[in-house]
Amino acid sequence: MIYASREEVSESMASLALALQGGSGARLSPEESANNIGRNVVMLVRANTLESVIDSPRPGCADFFIDSVGCGLQITADGFILTAAHIIEDWIEDWRNWWSERSPSPSEFAGIALKSGYLYWVIRQDDAGYIKASPIDGTTICYDLKYDVALIKAVNGLKPSPLDFKIAEGLESSDDLRLLTRNKMDVSLYATEGGILRLSQSLPMLIEGHETRKIRLVYDFFQTDIPARSGNSGSPIINQDGALVGLVSAVSVPKLSDQENPEREGYATCSRITYALSLAYKLRRQVGQFLTG
């Protein structure tokens, strides 16, 4: 884990624990919760160089991206992010090889990442419209391919604190839903709306990673009629109360060829947020063993 000290690890885990409860989100109005979630939607990318992207106003970042891979929801100020597992599946071996013999501090990590051409980054946009880029800590990951959920961490140099938002206690077929995601051309936030078609299914789905396509049985997802496309995976889904209910896992694409549907447009199929949050508890247990070991 890339931390300056064991004390910082403890503080970060405490912050993550509060984030699992939505921070102080229960006190928020639906609009406030939705705005907080939207503000913390991030893009996960493979990028060739980011020196010209960091602290640059939008638009104009697209020229520096090799590929926009997916999205996620940052839940703590110091960089913990919930996303879809298939986004990072192709990256994990790279991370294990890269950091197997290295244990840098956060400041060293950012420098090494820039100089080495490290490919994996979190891109976000601040309230002033500036693009911020942080390398992903490939040593701090927790994922479950069965439910297609993952927890990763950006190295951003910020102090730990939970981000406030509502977490839905359940999911109803009558819920009005909204997908919050980022435009891969200029990192701007946009939303699309819809409802639930099926509450619970476990079916084979085509999972598209950066370099692979594979069929996998994904369990207990819910299917929506929200328009979505390739690159929306990992984006948060909220309900009419502004509460987080799930993450986009796949796009149900009509049976068209790549030429007929080049953007892979279809409808969002989503994992429940309860599965994603369970990963955070699992990571906390692992880190607790690390601290006391």
Q: Are 17 and 10 in contact (CB under 8 A)?
A: no
Domain with CATH 2.40.10.10 in the chain: 6-165+276-292, 167-272
User: What pLDDT sits at residue 204?
Assistant: 65
In degrees, rounded to 5, the angle at the alpha carbon of residue 145 between the alpha carbons of residues 83 and 25 is 35
User: Residue 194 half-sphere exposure, CB side, CA atoms within 13 Å?
Assistant: 20
Q: What percent of the chain has pLDDT over 70?
A: 71
Question: What fold does the segment set 167-272 form as a domain?
Answer: Thrombin, subunit H (2.40.10)
Structure tokens at 180: 């919050």
User: What pLDDT sits at residue 264?
Assistant: 60
Q: Does the pLDDT value for residue 56 go beyond 50?
A: no
Question: To which residue do tokens 């040593």 refer?
Answer: 139
Q: What percent of the chain has pLDDT over 90?
A: 31
Average pLDDT over residues 192-213: 74
User: What pLDDT sits at residue 167?
Assistant: 94
Residues in the chain: 293
| Cβ-based neighbour number of residue 36 at 10 Å | 19
* pLDDT, tens digit, 9 for 90 and up, residues 253-285: 655 445 554 556 789 989 998 888 888 777 767
> Average pLDDT of the chain?
79
Domain 6-165+276-292 homologous superfamily, CATH: Trypsin-like serine proteases (2.40.10.10)
**Cβ contacts of residue 168 below 8 Å, gap of 6+?**
239, 241, 243, 244, 245, 273
Q: Does the pLDDT value for residue 244 go beyond 80?
A: yes
Name which residue leads in pLDDT, 146 or 174. 174
Q: How far is Cα 59 from Cα 69, in angstroms, rounded to an integer?
A: 18
Q: Torsions phi, psi of 289, nearest 5?
A: -65, -35
Average pLDDT over residues 197-226: 73
Q: What is the CA radius of gyration of the chain?
A: 18
| Cβ-based neighbour number of residue 149 at 10 Å | 29
Q: Which of 183-187, 213-217, 246-250 has the lowest mean pLDDT?
A: 213-217
